[in-house]
């Protein structure tokens, strides 16, 4: 038995008798019969990291999403530091994840917020996952303070001929990618570049700065739905990458090819077209009715996405003057109340969009909420259907915000805003081992 140790406190045992001969046609292990051959592990895995119990709880939430909701067929690794308690280590292992204890890279002396950002640097160890687990060739590294809302397995199965693919940080004006979601093709060459940067880190340089300096010119830029800020449902605004179903985008914008939802070119060809180009996954296409089709949904199978309703179409420019009869009576996953005797819908607990020209006190003084006056009401439901990974930035992290805080603090937020927190909290309440979540 050969044992290899990587990082702080982690070790992996490799049995010499069952080491796979990957070059043989039979693909069976040396020293054993074909009948008892051990199947080679998949070269693909999801990778999360956690440096404290609250983030470990969110890792558990997303493991549940990936495994139980979207039925991923790939492994999950979790990098942790010794600040994560034993109860969470055991819970992560019980979830089927492979847990690896690591020491976070050091920041330069004098860096502001060094403790927090040093922990964030742990995600850059995603570039050395082929050393932590020698069977790995490609990984998807994600921040844990997010919520996975779609099946992501196709990113492993499509050909991506790039060292790094990551979504555009669309909330930043300059061409920058986010490190909250990274698809990494593993190699010693790429890891040595990152390792050298970590060894010579400068003051006030963080994970996103380092990654963009190293890979900003070569990254394959993914669209924004892979890291979507939840602030859109707080502020009632739409990201520039949002497309209404059936919309066709033509031309070149600022040197970046904007690919329409209806395009079905394979992912590899899009990546070769232009380094740093933005593409939409080939797995999505536009159905004849103008609605997005998701290949993870076989006929009669709703796995792979949240089934929010298909809302009635309206003419461009009419979204701020929608008639009440365009609003759905029920929205799966969203608490929908009955209508008043006058036929107008209202939402419970004061959660409603503010009406233009009305003060917040006027809105809160009545239960009748005139939703037709709020722009983007329907579009924000559609946006949620297009999100692959939701990033919690508005109001706080989901483990620190309960329903009453949402009602009191964001009474004018879109109803989906509340649902995002409640979805996370419902799962966390069921699977997180200790009481770290603010009481519901």
**pLDDT for the residue 212:** 96
**pLDDT for the residue 36:** 52
- Give the rounded distance of the alpha carbon of 354 from its chain centre: 29
In sequence order, the 6+-apart residues with CB closer than 8 A to the CB of 17 are: 29, 30, 31, 32
**Which of 143, 271, 126 minimizes the C-alpha distance to 187?**
126
Burial of 318 (0-12, 13-18, 19+ CB in 10 A): exposed
Question: For residue range 323-337, what is the model confidence (pLDDT) as tens digits?
Answer: 223 323 222 222 222
**pLDDT for the residue 27:** 38
**pLDDT-flagged residues of the chain (< 50):** 1-32, 250-368, 371-372, 440
**pLDDT for the residue 39:** 76
* Residue whose pair of structure tokens reads 């992560």 in the numeric block: 92
**pLDDT for the residue 439:** 55
Domains of the chain: 1-40 (no CATH), 45-440 (3.90.550.10)
Tokens in use for 96?
């089927």
Question: For residue range 33-72, what is the model confidence (pLDDT) as tens digits?
Answer: 555 556 788 999 999 999 999 999 999 999 999 999 999 9
Q: What are the φ and ψ backbone dihedral angles of 190, each rounded to 5 degrees?
A: -70, -45
In sequence order, the 6+-apart residues with CB closer than 8 A to the CB of 4 are: 11, 12, 14, 134
3-state secondary structure of 228: strand
Question: For residue range 197-212, what is the model confidence (pLDDT) as tens digits?
Answer: 998 887 777 789 999 9
**pLDDT for the residue 38:** 63
- CB-based burial, 339-372: b 16+ in 10 Å, e otherwise: eeeeeebbbeeebbbbbeeeeeeebeeeeebbbb
Half-sphere exposure of 295 (CA within 13 A, CB side): 10
**Which of 418, 223, 385 minimizes the C-alpha distance to 304?**
385
Q: Where are the alpha helices (DSSP H) in 299-339?
A: none
């Amino acid at each position: 038995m050969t044992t290899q140790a990587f990082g702080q406190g982690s070790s992996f045992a490799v049995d010499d008798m069952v080491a796979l001969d990957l070059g043989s046609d039979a693909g069976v292990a040396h020293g054993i019969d074909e009948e008892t051959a051990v199947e080679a592990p998949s070269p693909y895995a999801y990778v999360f990291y956690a440096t404290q119990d609250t983030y470990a709880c969110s890792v558990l939430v997303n493991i549940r999403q990936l495994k139980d909701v979207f039925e991923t067929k790939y492994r999950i690794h979790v990098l942790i530091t010794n600040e994560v308690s034993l109860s969470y280590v055991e819970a992560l292992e019980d979830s089927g994840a492979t847990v690896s204890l690591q020491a976070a890279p050091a920041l330069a002396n004098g860096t502001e917020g060094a403790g927090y950002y040093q922990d964030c640097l742990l995600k850059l160890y995603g570039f050395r996952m082929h050393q932590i687990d020698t069977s790995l060739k490609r990984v998807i590294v994600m921040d844990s303070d997010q919520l996975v809302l779609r099946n992501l397995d196709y990113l492993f199965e499509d050909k991506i001929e790039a060292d790094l693919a990551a979504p555009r940080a669309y909330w930043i004006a300059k061409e920058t990618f986010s490190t909250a979601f990274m698809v990494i093709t593993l190699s010693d060459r790429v890891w040595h570049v990152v390792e050298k940067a970590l060894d010579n880190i400068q003051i006030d340089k963080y994970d996103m700065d380092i990654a963009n300096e190293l890979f900003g010119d070569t990254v394959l830029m993914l669209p924004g739905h892979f890291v979507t800020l939840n602030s859109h449902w707080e502020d009632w605004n739409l990201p520039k990458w949002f497309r209404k179903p059936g919309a066709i985008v033509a031309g070149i914008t600022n040197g970046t090819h904007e690919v329409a939802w209806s395009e079905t070119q394979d992912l590899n060809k899009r990546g070769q077209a232009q380094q740093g180009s933005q593409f939409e996954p080939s797995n999505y296409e536009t159905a004849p009715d103008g609605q997005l089709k998701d290949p993870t949904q076989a006929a009669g199978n709703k796995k792979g996405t949240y089934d929010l309703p298909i809302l009635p179409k309206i003419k461009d420019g009419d979204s701020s003057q929608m008639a009440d009869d365009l609003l759905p009576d029920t929205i799966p996953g969203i608490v929908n109340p009955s209508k008043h005797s006058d036929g107008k819908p209202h939402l419970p607990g004061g959660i409603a969009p503010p009406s233009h020209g009305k003060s917040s006190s006027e809105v809160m003084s009545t239960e009748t909420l005139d939703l037709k006056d709020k722009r983007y009401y329907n579009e924000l439901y559609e946006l949620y259907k297009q999100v692959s990974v939701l990033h919690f930035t508005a109001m706080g992290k989901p483990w620190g915000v309960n329903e009453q805080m949402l009602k009191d603090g964001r009474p004018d937020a879109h109803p989906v805003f509340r649902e995002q927190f409640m979805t996370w909290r419902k799962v966390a309440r069921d699977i997180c081992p200790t009481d770290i979540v603010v009481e519901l």
